[in-house]
Amino acid sequence: MRTFLPRESEICLPDPEDAHSRRYSRRYRHKRGWVKNLWIAAGVLMLCFPLLPFVVPLGLLTSFISFALLDETA
């Protein structure tokens, strides 16, 4: 039975000159996995300590780290 999303082998790779072609690289998928785990850990911390002065800075810090990890210049 097929799922709603196509398999990776069925996705057409874009032209290498396109700006978003880096999203299909193995290195970027690895970074995306790190970001996913970071958000899961931050979410668990937010659930453990549901205090606004803790949740807001942690969310902002996690957003900053996520953007820094997935930055295309690195």
Measured CA angle at 73 (ends 67, 74), to 5 deg: 80
Using CA atoms, how far apart are residues 35 and 63, in angstroms rounded to an integer? 9
pTM for the model: 0.71
pLDDT, averaged per 10 consecutive residues of the chain (74 residues), comes to 62 65 81 96 97 97 95 67
Q: CA 63, 69, 70, 74 torsion: positive or negative?
A: positive
